[in-house]
DNA sequence: CGCGCACTTGAACCCCTTCAACGGGCGTGG
DNA sequence: CCACGCCCGTTGAAGGGGTTCAAGTGCGCG
């Protein structure tokens, strides 16, 4: 088993808490595309993402996915569901191979992790959830062009590494729409692209105007 | 000045903290439609809603408002912005007359309210923010029919008190759309309505199917 | 070479908003 | 008391932003 104490997240934990945690959790290896939990499931475990990356999204009745959040280590997964005993709000899927600590939270001593440090970590985690949700909410009432302009301005570097299909998922639009907008921007000489997905910004001001 | 100790929220506060709070805050009376703070403003105060009700929403470039949350006492307002020193995510507007404690948070002693109890209250507050945001996110990719069906199933009682226009705002759709859907449901004998906005559910199962 | 995948492009479609017109209820002022 | 204006709800028609569907291209790789 991995040495919890060696993970920065746990440095402030007492030996007693670490032991209790070890006794009531397992470190699980996931592969890419594995589902950690599904929305609407009743929570059983508190997850702690130790290694890898996961996507958090919601699915609607037509199977369409709404991307909400990409979570990186070390962070909680499913914490609200567990603490408030309400169904998971969303589905969490591994992007890469992951190591996730699966904690049987309800078996832990009630006093475990009720200290101020833990609580603060929780607040931080919730803050990042809210920020992510706010961005989703923002994007839900921006046009697709505005969203793409924003993405270009903020995340230019990510174009090299990702496929258009992946980016369009994160922007919650179809690949067709994404493609049309990029070519539209190119035609209007706001950006330039080569065949390698390298984007260069030509007319930053107009992009800023579009993105607001 | 109102006696803070008489408010359930403050019963666990020490006399010292109460005094410090009083010394660094003012109780402000707001009227309906007053704005407590605007999105993108830099946070100056931590607000605590003592009496009344407020709406939290976002506005986009075209002036369209996206309803996010209706907050009732006693609850924080703008807490994330203050704690993390980031601009307010949204705009908060009084629905009715309100009493709001305006706390000069940055003048408070660093140790103020850093106790576990306060932290837990904060977590509760953040939880309700996230729940509200999740609903907004839902509504951004559920159809209008699905949203109305959900609302009928969950908030039947609110029909009497509110105008259709107000409800449609909360559901983030136009009054026209809301009206059309209600009449559609009536035509399909899923619900019945009288002239007083009293709704009765006739076919709960179909409504559940629609709402998913 | 052939297959699969990513991207592109066009056309149809759909959901919802917008715009416009209208009816009814209610309060206010003449 | 009626007249008027206003707000709320209704209904129709048009428009728009994005998705869906379908077909086609180009590229990499076994």
* Nucleotides of D strand lying within 7 Å of any protein CB atom: 8-13, 17-22, 27
pLDDT at A113 over 60: no
Q: Which residue intervals of chain A bear CATH 1.10.10.10?
A: 143-211
The answer to whether the CB atoms of A80 and B119 lie below 8 A apart is no
Contact A77, A29 (CB under 8 A): no
Q: Which 98-137 residues of chain A touch chain B by CB within 8 A? A: 114-116, 119-120, 122-123, 126-127, 129-130, 133-134, 136-137
The whole-angstrom distance between A198's CA and the closest CA on chain B is 30
Cα separations in angstroms, B182 against B201, B203, B211: 12, 13, 14
For chain A, where do the domains classified as CATH 2.60.120.10 start and end?
A: 4-139
Distance A202 CA to D14 C1' (A): 38
Residue A185 CA to residue A202 CA, distance in Å, equals: 10
As beta bridge partners, residue B91 has B57
Paired strand residues for A26: A102
Of B157, B178, B176, nearest to B167 by C-alpha is B178
Q: Which fold has domain B143-211?
A: Arc Repressor Mutant, subunit A (1.10.10)
**Phi, then psi, of B89 in degrees rounded to 5:** -75, -25
**Which nucleotide is closest, CA of B176 to its C1'?**
D10
DSSP B115: S
- Confirm if A147 and A173 have CB atoms less than 8 A apart: yes
CA torsion through residues B163, B65, B148, B34, sign: negative
CB-CB neighbors (< 8 A) of A122 in chain B: 123
Give the count of alpha carbons within 13 A of A7, CB side only.
18
Over residues A174-196, the pLDDT tens digits come to 999 999 999 999 999 999 988 77
CATH number of A4-139: 2.60.120.10
- A61 or B111, which is more confident: A61
Q: HSE, CB side, 13 Å, CA atoms: give it for residue A21.
A: 20
From first to last of its 212 residues, what are the pLDDT tens digits of chain B?
567 777 877 877 778 878 888 888 999 999 888 899 998 899 989 999 999 989 999 887 677 788 998 898 889 999 889 888 999 989 998 988 899 999 998 887 666 556 677 777 888 888 889 988 988 888 788 999 999 999 999 999 888 888 999 999 999 999 999 999 999 999 999 999 887 788 999 999 999 999 87
What residue has token string 């699980």? A28
* CB spacing of B140 vs A140 below 8 angstroms: yes
CB B39 within 8 A of CB B104: no
User: Which among A71, A79, A60, A41 has a CA at the least distance from the CA of A140?
Assistant: A60
């Amino acid at each position: 088993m991995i040495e919890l104490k060696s993970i920065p997240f746990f440095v402030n934990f007492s030996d007693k808490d670490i032991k209790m945690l070890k006794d009531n959790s397992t470190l699980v290896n996931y592969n890419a595309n594995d589902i950690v939990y599904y929305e609407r499931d009743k929570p059983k475990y508190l997850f702690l993402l130790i290694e890898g990356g996961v996507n958090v999204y919601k699915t609607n009745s037509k199977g369409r996915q709404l991307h909400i959040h990409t979570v990186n280590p070390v962070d909680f997964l499913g914490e609200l569901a567990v603490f408030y005993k309400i169904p998971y709000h969303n589905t969490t899927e591994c992007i890469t191979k992951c190591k996730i600590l699966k904690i049987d939270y309800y078996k832990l001593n009630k006093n475990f992790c009720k200290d101020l440090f833990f609580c603060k970590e929780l607040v931080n985690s919730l803050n990042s959830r809210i920020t992510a949700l706010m961005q989703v909410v923002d994007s839900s009432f921006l046009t697709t062009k505005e969203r793409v302009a924003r993405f270009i301005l903020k995340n230019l570097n990510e174009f090299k590494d990702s496929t258009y299909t992946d980016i369009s998922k994160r922007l919650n639009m179809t690949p067709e729409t994404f493609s049309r907008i990029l070519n539209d921007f190119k035609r209007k000489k706001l950006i330039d692209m080569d065949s390698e997905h390298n984007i260069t910004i030509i007319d930053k001001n107009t992009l800023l105007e579009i993105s607001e």
